[in-house]
Amino acid sequence: MSAGLAPPPLAVFEAPAHWRSIEFLSDLHLCVDTPRTLDALRRHLRSTDADAIVVLGDLFEVWVGDDVRFSPFEQACMQVLHEASKHHYLAFIAGNRDFLVGEDFLHDAGMQGWADPTLLKAFGSSVLLTHGDALCLSDTRYQQFRQQVRGAAWQTSFLSQTLAERQAQARQMRDASEQGREHQTSWGDIDVPCALSWLDAAGSGQMIHGHTHHPSHDRLDSGHARWVLSDWDFEGSEPRADVLRWTAAGIERRQPAG
C-alpha cells in the first residue's frame, strides 16, 4: 500500500446505550459575516431532540487560536454551543478552516474534541467520521499546505504571533485560496481507494464526511457507502443546510430543526 493510502491512527467512540439519535453537520463556516447562519444553528440546537450532535469540521470560517474566542462574534458562537451542551452531547472534529481549535474553546463551549478519523459505534453498527480534506488526494497543492500547517513547528510559530498578526495572515491565506478557486474548473472529491482503505482498517461499511460541499449518498464499492454533508449558508436568498440523523433505523438526511 502506498503512503498516500495508509490509514491514519483510528480513534473509537462507543455511544452510550441510552442514546436514541445522533446528528451530524459540518461546514457552517461561521464568521462575523454569517449572523443568519449562526441564528439557524441556534434554532436547530434548541429544537432538536438528538442525544448527540457531532460537528465534522469547518464550524468556523477561520480559527487563529483560542484567544479569539473572546471576540464578540466568537463569544456569541461559544454561548450558543455552551447552552446546547446542557441538553446534548456535543463533539467536534477539526476541519481545514478550524484545525487550531483547542482545549480552551472546547471546554468553554461544552464540546468534546474527537480525532480525525473517529469510528463511532452505535445501534449495533458503526460509521467512520472524518472532515474529508485528508482524503482529497488529487488536490496536491492543498495536501502540501495541510501537511505544513498541521505540523507542530508551524503551529508554534503561528501561535506565537499577536492575535492581530494571525488574523491578518489568515485573511491573506483565505484571499489566496479564494483566488485559486476562481480559476478552478472542477471541485475535487475524496480518493475512493484511500477511503476504502480507511474503511477496511476501521472494519466499517459506511463513512460520513463534509468538506466538498456536495451532499450525496453513494456507494464506494459493493460493500461500502459514504454520506456527504452539505455546507450551511443562510445569508443569501436561497438558504442551504442539512443534517444527517442516525438512529437504529439507519441514517437519513434532514433539514435543520426550528
Rounded to an integer, what distance in angstroms lies between the CA atom of residue 208 and that of residue 69? 28
Nearest in space to 71 (alpha carbons), one of 2, 170, 152: 170
What is the reported pTM?
0.94
Rounded to an integer, what distance in angstroms lies between the CA atom of residue 41 and that of residue 60? 12
As beta bridge partners, residue 253 has 244
Nearest in space to 257 (alpha carbons), one of 126, 128, 88: 88
Per-10-residue mean pLDDT of the chain, 258 residues long, equals 67 98 98 97 98 98 96 97 98 97 98 98 98 95 93 96 95 76 62 96 97 95 97 95 98 94
Rounded to an integer, what distance in angstroms lies between the CA atom of residue 209 and that of residue 147? 20
Rounded to an integer, what distance in angstroms lies between the CA atom of residue 77 and that of residue 83? 10
Per-residue confidence (pLDDT) for residue 185, from 0 to 100: 43
Per-residue confidence (pLDDT) for residue 182, from 0 to 100: 52
Q: What digits encode the pLDDT tens for the residues 178-223?
A: 665 554 544 579 999 999 999 999 999 999 999 999 999 999 999 9
Residue 77, C-alpha cell as written in the block: 458562537
Secondary structure letter of residue 133 according to DSSP:
G
Per-residue confidence (pLDDT) for residue 3, from 0 to 100: 40
Nearest in space to 22 (alpha carbons), one of 107, 90, 99: 90
- DSSP codes of every residue in 187-241: -----HHHHHHHHHHHT-SEEEE-SS---EEEEEETTEEEEEPPP-B-SSSS-B-
Per-residue confidence (pLDDT) for residue 179, from 0 to 100: 65
Sheet with 118-122: list strands edge to edge.
11-14, 118-122, 125-130, 206-209, 224-228, 216-221
Nearest in space to 241 (alpha carbons), one of 257, 252, 225: 257
Options 2.40.50.140, 1.25.40.10, 3.60.21.10, 3.30.428.10; CATH for 3-254 is 3.60.21.10
